[in-house]
Amino acid sequence: MSQIPHLNGFSIKNNEWHAENVPLSAIAEQYGTPAYVYSKKALTDAFNAYEKACIKPNGQRRAQVHYAMKANSNLAILNVFAKLGAGFDIVSAGELARVLAAGGSAKKVVFSGVGKSKSEMIAALKAGVKCFNLESIPELSRLNEVAASLGMKAPISLRVNPDVDPKTHPYISTGLKGNKFGIAYDEVIKTYQAAAQMSHCEIVGIDCHIGSQITEISPYLDALDRVLDLIKALADQGIQIHHLDIGGGLGISYTSETPPAITEFANTLLDHIEAKGFGHLEVLFEPGRSLVGNAGLLLTTIEYLKPGETKNFCIVDAAMNDLMRPAMYDAYHAIVPVKLSNQSKANSVSYDIVGPICESGDWLGKDRELAVQPGDYLAILSAGAYGFTMSSNYNTRGRAAEVMVDGDQVHIIRERETIESLFANEKLLPN
């Protein structure tokens, strides 16, 4: 059990894994597998851990949480956060539409991303988003033109690339010189000066996001100090910044990682901002993984056990199209049998957990000690972030069902895709 992360909302009762008060085997039998299972309690508790730091004992708010919904964009999850008072960090017009459909407010939406199209800018301006986080002068010029065509002013923030090493996987590092994100630190003042001359852009903030799955506070403090120096320099130029968006990226425990607790992390950054004399700024957090990562898991059924000369394979009905992280990032997810009553170390075998996709890269876990039989259910833990949102229909496989557990109630929040739905929009050529 040493490789199983601390989980909230999932636990072992009577030798079986449960989501809150519901046995996972009951969920698998009712809804089938593969299926993503989320805990409403875990989502709520994680959000409230941020809120504990964001609101002072006297009730004064010193920061606002904007959920980075690329981590998991199911409408029910967005609705849970919207009801708790969250804003949202989006990267597409599709995500904006999801926020609005889930009951979120456009006024609490920050639009990030390096490649916003004209149509996306128009949709966001008409909806009335809080701010555009911009990442280049060409993007700034395009937004100014689009806003002018609508007779509107676009609220803007520039995303700073502080050239700080977040000490994470290179694919999810975003704050180094070699990354595609943000405006180079030495170009920021000049870019703000250009923005100040644009008639249909209004400077409201500054933004910084250095990466994802970060398990130390020090990179955040390094980046924060660099951004605070910019805010002072901009003020000297007569350019006032009203909000500071410090991004997200706080990591979770997948196995043995020890990231700081959410409230400790948020308090450390907010206290640092105040100690530096910038307590007057509105502060935005953009957490994603730390809100949803350990609030979800992927249920799967064992189809076959295939012994081999050098490897034993446990073939399951979930695959890389359902959970891309292991194949894409070489990521580790703890994998546990749903029922533990038959588990015996004496009978355990080392397996690679693989799916039915026609790729050697289709694996979910390697060298796992399991005592299992075909037909058993497995739970792939810590799959609430970048699980379903990165899934695909590769090999013409329907995407998994999604359910949310609230106490002893199970709610289907996304039906499993049917095979027919996968090609419903395709057309044959005429004879």
Report the alpha-carbon distance of residue 297 to residue 334 in Å, rounded: 10
d(Cα 104, Cα 425) in Å, to the nearest integer?
29
Angle between helix axes 75-84 and 40-54 (nearest 10 degrees) is: 40
CB-based contacts of 2, cutoff 8 Å, min separation 6? 256
Q: Which residue has the tokens 């013409």?
A: 396
8: β partners: none
**Tokens, residue 362:** 């289709």
Q: Which position among 54, 201, 208, 358 bears the catalytic label?
A: 358
Helix (H, G, I), strand (E, B) or coil at 284: strand
Beta strands per DSSP E along 131-254: 131-134, 154-161, 183-184, 201-208, 243-245
Q: Residue 11 has which token pair? A: 């636990």
Q: What angle do CA 27, 46, 252 make, to 5 degrees?
A: 85
Catalytic site residue 358? Answer: yes
- Enter the DSSP assignment of 83: H
Task: Give the tokens for residue 166.
Answer: 């977040």
Q: Please state the φ and ψ torsions of residue 324, each to the nearest 5 degrees.
A: -85, -20
Packing angle, helices 137-150 and 118-127, rounded to 10? 50
Q: What is the DSSP letter of 428?
A: P
Residues annotated catalytic, as ranges: 358
